[in-house]
Structure 1
């Protein structure tokens, strides 16, 4: 899945791990990702968290997609910040799952956003 994810890779995301319902991705905030307030646009934070979510929920193997997701913005990120998204499977039941993703700035440990995703395993079509 990651090899075909042009959107994530084009933004400079790097996949460090995706195994057993967990994933870790990093991304550096570029000048194109900054809004009019000089902060990383929330859509890019969501996209980083969503990409980590996708890698975590697909790590066991079956094709799995997002059924729903929400995000809480905790602090701002700025141009040049290196961000890390850590995704963890909370539970999997039937064809559904729940995942928590924390986006943080590793340089100082500041949590930037908290994301919760709900997944659904589908038949490849």
Structure 2
């Protein structure tokens, strides 16, 4: 899944682990993600958390996409900081899941994210990302 996720790989995210409903994903904050305050843009932190969500959820329920999510930011990050997002599936019910993600800089909690997932299509129907998107538009 991540091999086709150009938003994650293009932003330098690395999957450290993803199995049995848990995942860890990291990113180093580079200059392109530093906002006018000299801090890591919240969009990068959200994207990192959402990517960890996807890895954890799909390790249990392939085909899961984000149906909704909230994030609370606690501590800023700066250029050069390494952020790690640890995700855990908390609940599965049919096609739906609930996943909690903690984003840290070393031992400091940067943000807490809670995502709700839904299986969008059966794994057997998944093809290359472009082909699947084209098929859904028809």
Q: TM-score, normalised by structure 2?
A: 0.86
Question: Contact 2:61/2:119 (CA < 8 Å) preserved in 1?
Answer: no
Q: Could you say which residue in structure 1 is the equivalent of 2:115?
A: 117
Moved over 3 A (4+): none
2 CA distance for matches of 1:117 and 1:68? 6
* Structure having the larger proportion of residues in strand: 1
Q: Which runs of 5+ in 2 are unaligned?
A: 126-135
- Equivalence for 1:45: 45
Compare CA radii of gyration and give the structure with the larger one.
2
2:30 and 2:80 in contact (8 A); partners too: yes
Match of 1:105 in 2: 105
Query: In structure 2, what is the Cα distance between the partners aligned to 1:116 and 1:97?
Result: 11
CA contact (8 A) 2:66 2:118 kept: yes
Question: Runs of 5+ in structure 1 lacking a partner?
Answer: none
1:51-70 map, 5 Å: 51-70=51-70
More helix by share: 2
Aligned-partner SS, 2:60: coil
Which residue number corresponds to residue 27 of structure 1?
A: 27
> How big is the shift at 1:61?
4.8
TM-superposed CA distance for 1:67, in Å, is: 0.7
Q: TM-score under structure 1 normalisation?
A: 0.95
How many pairs does the alignment contain?
A: 123
Cα offsets for 1:82-122 (capped at 9, x unmatched): 0000000111011111000000012xx00000000000012
